[in-house]
Every structure is written in C-alpha cells, then in structure tokens.
C-alpha cells in the first residue's frame, strides 16, 4: 500500500525520467541512430572542398596506388604542404576501399569517427553520472552545429579522427584516479592524436600536466609508472618517426618544425590572421547558429557552481578540474597562436557539450529542486537541443554539389 502511494505521489517529471532510464537501452539506440543520420545523411552530395579535403583525399588515393603508406605524396611526389602524419590518410584509404573512390568514400571515415566519439562519451557519462545524463549528452553532441557545418564530421580531412583521439585521451585522463592504468591510455591516445594532426595535439600535454598537478596525481609518476607512461606515447610516435626517416630523411621533420609549428604559431600563414578573441566570438557571440555553445557553457558553469559542494563531498572534484582544463586549453592555445582557423579549437566544444548534458540531467533528477523547475529545465533542454539539431538537418538538406566535378568524376 505504501509503495502504491509513493508511486502515485511521484511528480510528472520523475515519472518521465524514470521511464527514460527504464528504457535507456532503447533510447540510447534511438539517440545513436540520430547521430548516424546526422553524420551520413546526404554525405556524398556536397562538392569536394579544394583545400584540405581534396588534399587528404589525394594523399590517401596515392597511398593506395603506390603502396607506400608511410610518406604522403601529391602527384606522387613528397607532399610538404600537408605536413600531417598519416593516420587520418590511412582511415580515408580504408574508407575508399569500402565505399569506392567517391565523395562517400572520402568522408565516411570522418563521419564514423564522430559516431564512435558520441557513443564513447555517452558510455563514460552513463557509468559515472547516470543514464539520463548520458541521453542528454547525446542530444547536446547532436546539436554540435560548428562541427557538422565546417571542416570536420562531414568532411574528408583529419579533424574528426583527431578529435576522437583527443576525446579518448581526455576521458582516459579523467579515469586515472579510479583506474590508474588509464594513464597509459591517455598517453597512447595523445600519440594517436599527434600522428593524426601533428602539433595540434600539443594542447593535450598542457591539459594533462595541469590536471596531474592540480589533482595531486603527478606525485604518483615515479619509477616504473613514469617509464611506462613515457613509453605509452613515445614508442608509437618514435616508430612512425623512424619509418618516415627512411623515406626522405629529415626533410619532412624540418618542415613540420619550422613551418607547421614555429611559422604558423608566430605568423598568420596563408593570410589566416584574426584577433585574439576570434574563437570566443565565433563560438559564443557572433553567429546565432553557434549559440548552442553559449547555452551549454552557461549550463555547465551553473552546475559547476551549484554542485561544487556535492562533488567535493563525493571526492569527484577532479572531474570538474579535468573538464575545465579540457575546455580551456585548446581555445587558449590557438587564441595565442598567430594562425587562426575556426576548426583549430574544436576540441574545446566537446567538454562543454558533454558537461551541459551531465549538469542538465543531474539537475532534472535532483529532488532538492522543485518539480516545476525540473520540468521547465527538462523541456527547455529538449527544445534547445531540438532547435539546433533541426538546424543541422536543414543545413545538410541545403548542401549542394558541383556539376562539373560530378561529371568529371563519373567520366573517370
């Protein structure tokens, strides 16, 4: 009888969220279906962008034709314009083998990387915060307008794979306290991020260093543990460096250091010069299509303040430290650099969106907050994410091809 009364006295929002958690697996599959739809719907329609996308595609194509998977080439000559290690080119080459030498083959690997990123992030959130938080995390990642629009998820370049490895490294870092061996995972995925997008992965070093320092984990890096950590990233990077050296000696490494790192950080290469607040304005101020990030940032910030005492009591303050550093360092690093392109600091957006999903779900499930406020918050989050997801669909439907490119591709 008492159980029946408790069931009757539950608020509407509690019944809804309990239902969502009861049918979590079904809703998770639906959410991932939405991600797959956004990633692959009309993926082969948009014309091939003549800079990075086309270049990476040519590098991957020539790797398959030449059989040389260590040195990227352009017109079968060493390519010293695209100074990235080959991991993303291997992914595109695999995609070509599966889907053919076409626009779908060029982009499918990038799209698949974001599907994996979303699934892994949701799983991480589910295990540590709850099922509703995981479902809302999926929705926020589906509302990732910039990454669906420019140069990443639906583009055949290195950014989607790089962001996947970046995210995996950060999630491993956040698990170090509960599972110490994750330290080596963080190092390994840092190496993978470097072998995808070169010096762009450098921000992982800063995030990791300050995280280990501020959480006290740096004190555990002694003896065999330190050596194993160094080996986790130096061995894969070193193996690639040795193999690359056998191809053209030090030439590629010179260009990587003097042009890719030093020149681009000190000078605005190819006229990509912007003000210091370029990324802040583009993500949070200038464009209405990007306001999902401002909303997510405000939600995450409110949660950080409102739940700081609970996090401290539960011994999980280190998670807040990790998310804060993960969001701050990429945008700070690339704001300081002279060369600025909007996709350089995409790594900042992932923790902001994940954090918003965690905070929103936690607040909706918090019975210390009135049912009316929780209902309003839940509806507000659904409307917010739904609006920007619909915008992503609209943008995808508006994509168009190039008749000349299509004719040329079909003729060959």
pLDDT per position as a tens digit, 249-300:
999 999 999 887 776 655 555 555 678 888 998 888 866 666 899 999 999 9
The closest alpha carbon to 88, from 68, 102, 103, 107, belongs to 107
What pLDDT, on a 0 to 100 scale, did the predictor assign at position 2?
A: 40
What pLDDT, on a 0 to 100 scale, did the predictor assign at position 1?
A: 40
First CA to last CA across the chain, in angstroms? 75
Q: Are 207 and 170 in contact (CB under 8 A)?
A: yes
CA–CA gap between residue 288 and residue 1 (Å, rounded): 53
- 12-16, 168-172, 394-398, range with greatest mean pLDDT: 168-172
Q: Are 84 and 196 in contact (CB under 8 A)?
A: yes
- Provide the CB-side half-sphere exposure for 6 (13 A, CA): 3
What pLDDT, on a 0 to 100 scale, did the predictor assign at position 267?
A: 55
CA–CA gap between residue 167 and residue 71 (Å, rounded): 27
Phi, psi of 71, rounded to the nearest 5 degrees: -105, 120
The closest alpha carbon to 131, from 296, 21, 17, 33, belongs to 21
What pLDDT, on a 0 to 100 scale, did the predictor assign at position 289?
A: 63
Q: Please, what is the average pLDDT of the chain?
A: 91
Q: Are 189 and 172 in contact (CB under 8 A)?
A: yes
Cβ of 193: how many Cβ atoms within 10 Å?
28
Percent of the chain with pLDDT over 90: 80
Q: Is 366 exposed, middle or buried (0-12, 13-18, 19+ CB in 10 A)?
A: middle
What pLDDT, on a 0 to 100 scale, did the predictor assign at position 259?
A: 80
The two structure tokens encoding residue 255: 């260009």
Give tens-digit pLDDT for 198-224: 999 999 999 999 999 999 999 999 999
Q: Are 389 and 139 in contact (CB under 8 A)?
A: yes
What pLDDT, on a 0 to 100 scale, did the predictor assign at position 405?
A: 57
State mean pLDDT over 330-350.
91
Q: Where are the alpha helices (DSSP H) in 41-130?
A: 52-66, 87-99, 103-128
Give tens-digit pLDDT for 385-400: 999 999 999 999 998 8
The closest alpha carbon to 57, from 27, 88, 36, 16, belongs to 88
What pLDDT, on a 0 to 100 scale, did the predictor assign at position 266?
A: 57
């Amino acid at each position: 009888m008492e159980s029946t009364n408790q069931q009757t006295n539950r608020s509407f929002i509690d019944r809804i969220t309990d239902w969502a958690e009861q049918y979590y697996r079904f809703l998770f599959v639906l959410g991932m279906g939405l991600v797959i739809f956004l990633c692959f719907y009309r993926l082969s329609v948009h014309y091939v962008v003549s800079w990075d996308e086309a270049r990476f595609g040519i590098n991957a194509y020539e790797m398959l034709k030449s059989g040389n998977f260590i040195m990227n080439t352009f017109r079968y000559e060493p390519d010293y314009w695209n100074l990235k290690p080959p991991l993303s080119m291997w992914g595109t080459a695999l995609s070509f083998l599966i889907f053919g030498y076409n626009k779908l083959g060029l982009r499918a690997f990038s799209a698949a990387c974001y599907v994996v990123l979303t699934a892994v992030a949701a799983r991480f959130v589910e295990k540590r915060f709850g099922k509703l938080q995981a479902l809302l995390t999926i929705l926020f990642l589906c509302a990732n307008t910039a990454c669906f629009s420019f140069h990443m998820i639906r583009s055949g370049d290195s950014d989607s794979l790089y962001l996947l490895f970046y995210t995996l490294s950060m999630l491993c870092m956040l698990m170090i306290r509960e599972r110490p061996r994750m330290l080596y995972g963080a190092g390994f995925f840092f190496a993978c991020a470097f072998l995808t997008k070169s010096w762009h992965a450098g921000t992982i070093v800063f995030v990791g260093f300050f995280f280990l320092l501020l959480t006290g984990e740096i004190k555990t890096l002694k003896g065999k543990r330190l050596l194993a950590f160094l080996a986790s990233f130096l061995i894969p990077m070193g193996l690639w460096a040795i193999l690359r050296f056998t191809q053209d000696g030090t030439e590629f490494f010179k260009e990587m250091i003097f042009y890719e790192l030093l020149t681009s950080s000190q000078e605005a290469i190819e006229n990509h010069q912007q003000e210091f607040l370029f990324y802040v304005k583009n993500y949070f101020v200038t464009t209405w299509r990007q306001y999902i990030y401002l909303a997510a940032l405000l939600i995450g910030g409110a949660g950080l303040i409102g739940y700081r005492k609970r996090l401290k009591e539960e011994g999980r303050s280190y998670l807040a430290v990790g998310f804060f550093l993960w969001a701050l360092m990429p945008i700070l690093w690339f704001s300081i650099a002279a060369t600025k392109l909007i996709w350089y600091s995409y790594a900042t957006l992932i923790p902001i969106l994940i954090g918003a999903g965690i905070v929103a779900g936690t607040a909706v499930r918090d019975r210390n907050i009135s049912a009316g406020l929780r209902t309003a918050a839940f509806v507000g989050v659904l409307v917010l994410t739904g609006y920007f997801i619909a915008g992503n669909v609209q943008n995808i439907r508006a994509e168009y091809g190039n008749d000349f490119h299509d004719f040329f591709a079909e003729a060959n």
